[in-house]
Structure 1
Amino acid sequence: MKFRPTAGASRIAIVGRPNVGKSTIFNRLAGRRLALVNDTPGVTRDRKETHTQMGGRPVILLDTAGLEEADPETIPGRMRASSEVAIRQADLILFVIDARQGLTPTDRAFANLLRKVPAPILLLANKAEGRGGALAAMEAFELGLGTPIPISAEHGEGFGGLLDEIVAHLPEMPEEEPEGAEKPLRLAIVGRPNAGKSTLLNALVGEERMITGPEPGLTRDAVTVEWSDEEGRVRLVDTAGLRKKARVELELEKMSTGASIGALKECEVAILVLDATLGLEQQDINIARLAEREGRAIVLALNKWDAVPDRNAARKGVEDVLQTSLAQLKGITVVPMSAATGQGVDKLMPAVRAAHERWNRRIGTGELNRWFEVVKDKHQPPLVDGRRIKLRYLTMPKARPPTIVVFGTRAEALPDDWQRYMVNSFREQFDMGGVPIRVQLRGSENPYAEDDK
């Protein structure tokens, strides 16, 4: 497994100390609100990237954690190490300072670090609103990194000139990607805080891409990584832990939760990561139900499996809860694994690919109706208000998720228990475990038709 960025794309890293406006610049350049923006210093902890275009050139834009002088074992120290990886991988670096605050010793220290980097550097003096701000930006000349570019990310000032400078440092426009080029599988990693989601992402992509540690809630934003497994491209999103709604209090945590839910809505398959030492708890069930409501295929990752003392009891406990509380996702694939040691991680992506194939699968009308005749013969639809429901045929107009449309006289009155019976039989017959199934009823009432009482 390896990273596979967009062909010919230039990597542009936005770096600087905390709270100078890097994420606001990232959002402006990306053309949409992707990174969390808040006055709290250190909101961005992991490298966040997005694929976009500038001047017709493909670009991978990277938002990074604030650069701070800190012990490597601390959270700021781990954040700095992550940012330094982005600096080493970048083709162009945007070094951001706060013109309003002026140069700080930290700015000067990191300017010294950047002077040793071979990639070209553009010095951005942010928060330089108006004429006074532009004059204040000139102080940054003394860093020896070229002419400062005064901008205001909050107000959008100076971005025309900034884009011109960026494009001037990019290679010539590549040939267009051919039609029918492979699209990445959209995959989200979701779960409660401290279940091991970021450790799992690092294990999958084979590098320390995300900040990890024993502290709960390290990941604050939804972070996207594009890479490849043996089957092709994957756009993988690590999300902040989803806690119970009553416990989501701070504005920043509300924003993190919103970003996680947004990632879940945009994905095709969700990996729900559980702490196997705790089992399948109510919040895990709530997250799985949310994914099902959004129509996403789900794979269950039983993480920290190496720390489970009685594995048979743990597995049975999870299966019992799935049977009683997640019947709408019957047959969901469960992968015991340890993201920290790598045990079982190799089985996860094959399970994801299989779930994605089921989620995309459409059954032909002939095959579908041959099965449906058997289903009706085994268990006839009941009488409702003394009148017979006469089901005539099915179609499957769409997948993603699989959707069955039932046609027949008074089909709209079909009881829920018979619909569940039909869906369970459909799952078993066509191997649709762990995939949401949608049922639409198309009834008819013809006053001239013979009554089927």
Structure 2
Amino acid sequence: MLPTVTIIGRTNVGKSSLLNRLVGKRISIVEDKEGITRDRVSGLLEYENRVLELIDTGGLGFHDQEELAPLVEQQIQIAAEEADLLLFVVDGRRGIHPMDREVAQKIREWKKPYLLVVNKIDDSPMEELADEFFELGLEEPPIAVSAMTGYGKGELLDAILKRIDWSKYPEIPKNEEMKLAIVGRPNSGKSTFINALAQEERVIVSPLPGTTRDAVDVRFELDGQTFIAIDTAGVKRKGKIRDSVEYFSYVRAEKAIHRADVVVFLLDVAANITRADKKLGEIIVEAEKPVVIGVNKWDLAEDRITTTEYADYFSKLMRGLHFAPMVFLSAKEGRNKKEVIQLCLELFEQSKYRVGTGELNRLLEKAYQKRRPPVIKGKRGKILYATQVGISPPTFVLFVNKKDMFPHQYLRYLENFLRNELPFSEIPLRFWLREREPAKMGDFKNS
């Protein structure tokens, strides 16, 4: 486990910007609009050979039309209770707000270690603005920073390390955990599935589509092994994206897929597969990521349709993912969640498999003799030599006489052939074609 530092404060004081500045990459969506962060969003902070988990929370005192404020405040309460240290962020330019006083009172009640962080202080002449916050009556002196420019970042990081009891966390993790991107259309059960894995209300669960806007990292343990699950915003077709926040969420979901080791693609069995599902499937295929198809809410449908019938329905509409394994689950009941994770582990191992060059060329010769590329303008493509050059996904370079003589359908045939012959039957494969003269590279026998 890692120590956790939780950022709290009223809305629009720059909490998300501070998380992005400290972590060093854009994890939280930042926009000048209240209520952008709803879930607990986290990232790994590495500094001075120490590693901790930094958590961004929604703004206290936030009210919205969707009436999610009580759920947001529940998330903040849970995050505060679990934290090793709180960063209480205020807006140095606007001065003390009545809600700041309420947050200060909560800090006294929680009796947790904290730091008072005065944001939007861009340089040393502005530091005197931070003195006003002594009026909050907190024991800790204010630390002046600017999340936008990075001013005061070093001082804040030093203070964070000093306030954490590192005796409870003696070791820095040597290996990064396997990352799982949990993706699907809005309201397909992603957040419920994450909470079932984490065994706590880590992500806001609501019947309103679109309650998750950030890509939320949740670290969890299962059978003694640690994982990171990335809960993403529900992906809609681009034509239906209403505003910049939804657009950023779409981009964040796409980035989460590329960042993950394995993708869990959740589908609502009660809903038809739509163009948005197909678009999401295309993103996964283009990213060449191992994927588990999770058919969610199966507890509501198992009396009306069989697993075989649904698998056939899926295969007809999502042909690009025909190789992906499928699990029928209920995120609400926690049913088959372990099976999903076990499959993800198996796919992760498949994606790291390396085949010897000799075996690879023997298999490709066998595939070539069984089915050759089509004749194009009186000529036929020839595979001269092949080698594996990468993993995750397994990546192969095929040296050929002419690249344009190998249509996509033939490469798909080779991909399926290798899947059947080698221990990566359920993951995507990548082929690169390079042209070489036969006299330089040799040729398959009898080709």
TM-score (norm 1): 0.88
Give the 5 Å matches for 1:225-236.
225-230=218-223, 232-236=225-229
Task: Give per-residue Cα distances to partners, 1:336-389, cap 9 Å, x unaligned.
Answer: 111111222221111111221222222222333333333233224443322343
Q: Could you say which residue in structure 2 is the equivalent of 1:202?
A: 195
- Which residue, out of 181, 192, 195, partners 1:188? 181
- CA separation in 1, counterparts of 2:86 and 2:308? 48
Give the 5 Å matches for 1:310-325.
311-312=304-305, 316-323=309-316, 325=318
Give the 5 Å matches for 1:259-408.
259-308=252-301, 311-312=304-305, 316-323=309-316, 325-327=318-320, 329-408=321-400
Q: RMSD in angstroms over aligned alpha carbons?
A: 2.9
- CA separation in 2, counterparts of 1:324 and 1:96? 48
Verify the 8 A CA contact 1:285 1:326 in the aligned structure 2.
no
Is 2:245 the partner of 1:220? no
Verify the 8 A CA contact 2:237 2:275 in the aligned structure 1.
no
Q: Could you say which residue in structure 1 is the equivalent of 2:37?
A: 44
Task: Give per-residue Cα distances to partners, 1:129-161, cap 9 Å, x unaligned.
Answer: 568854443332232212223333334333343
- CA separation in 1, counterparts of 2:356 and 2:29? 44
CA displacement at 1:121 relative to structure 2: 1.7
CA displacement at 1:243 relative to structure 2: 0.7
Partner amino acid, structure 2, of 1:62:
I
Is 2:68 the partner of 1:68? no
Query: Helix, strand or coil for the counterpart of 2:43?
Result: strand
Partner amino acid, structure 2, of 1:359:
S
Give the 5 Å matches for 1:40-119.
40-68=33-61, 74-119=67-112
Out of 284-293 and 138-147, give the one that drifted further.
138-147
Gaps of 5+ in 2: none
CA displacement at 1:445 relative to structure 2: 4.0
Q: Could you say which residue in structure 2 is the equivalent of 1:120?
A: 113
- CA separation in 1, counterparts of 2:209 and 2:44? 29
Partner amino acid, structure 2, of 1:326:
R
- Which residue, out of 409, 421, 441, partners 1:417? 409
Partner amino acid, structure 2, of 1:209:
R
Verify the 8 A CA contact 1:91 1:120 in the aligned structure 2.
yes
CA displacement at 1:38 relative to structure 2: 0.8
Paired-residue identity, %: 35
Query: Helix, strand or coil for the counterpart of 1:17?
Result: coil
CA displacement at 1:24 relative to structure 2: 1.3
- CA separation in 2, counterparts of 1:374 and 1:407? 16
Structure 1 residues 168, 120: closer, same or farther in 2, change over 3 A?
same
Structure 1 residues 355, 139: closer, same or farther in 2, change over 3 A?
same
Structure 1 residues 379, 29: closer, same or farther in 2, change over 3 A?
closer
Is 2:117 the partner of 1:150? no
CA displacement at 1:317 relative to structure 2: 4.4
Q: Could you say which residue in structure 1 is the equivalent of 2:248?
A: 255
Structure 1 residues 231, 396: closer, same or farther in 2, change over 3 A?
farther
Structure 1 residues 205, 437: closer, same or farther in 2, change over 3 A?
same
Verify the 8 A CA contact 2:192 2:205 in the aligned structure 1.
yes
Verify the 8 A CA contact 1:121 1:145 in the aligned structure 2.
no
Verify the 8 A CA contact 1:13 1:92 in the aligned structure 2.
yes
Structure 1 residues 119, 445: closer, same or farther in 2, change over 3 A?
same
Structure 1 residues 108, 428: closer, same or farther in 2, change over 3 A?
same
Structure 1 residues 398, 168: closer, same or farther in 2, change over 3 A?
closer
Partner amino acid, structure 1, of 2:131:
M
Structure 1 residues 196, 175: closer, same or farther in 2, change over 3 A?
closer
Structure 1 residues 374, 43: closer, same or farther in 2, change over 3 A?
same
CA displacement at 1:126 relative to structure 2: 2.4
Q: Could you say which residue in structure 2 is the equivalent of 1:27?
A: 20
Task: Give per-residue Cα distances to partners, 1:63-114, cap 9 Å, x unaligned.
Answer: 111122889x941111111111111111211112223333333222221221
Query: Helix, strand or coil for the counterpart of 1:115?
Result: helix
Out of 163-172 and 263-272, give the one that drifted further.
163-172
Partner amino acid, structure 1, of 2:113:
P
Partner amino acid, structure 2, of 1:158:
G
Query: Helix, strand or coil for the counterpart of 2:110?
Result: coil
Task: Give per-residue Cα distances to partners, 1:4-26, cap 9 Å, x unaligned.
Answer: x34xxx32111111111111111
CA displacement at 1:210 relative to structure 2: 0.4
Q: Could you say which residue in structure 2 is the equivalent of 1:438?
A: 430
CA displacement at 1:225 relative to structure 2: 1.7
Query: Helix, strand or coil for the counterpart of 2:79?
Result: helix
Pairs aligned (count): 441
- CA separation in 2, counterparts of 1:40 and 1:337? 37
- CA separation in 1, counterparts of 2:307 and 2:274? 12
- CA separation in 1, counterparts of 2:346 and 2:438? 44
- CA separation in 2, counterparts of 1:152 and 1:440? 46
- CA separation in 2, counterparts of 1:127 and 1:137? 10
- CA separation in 1, counterparts of 2:125 and 2:33? 26
Query: Helix, strand or coil for the counterpart of 1:436?
Result: coil
Out of 117-126 and 440-449, give the one that drifted further.
440-449
Query: Helix, strand or coil for the counterpart of 1:142?
Result: helix
- CA separation in 2, counterparts of 1:357 and 1:125? 46
Verify the 8 A CA contact 1:396 1:405 in the aligned structure 2.
yes
- CA separation in 1, counterparts of 2:336 and 2:218? 21
Gaps of 5+ in 1: none
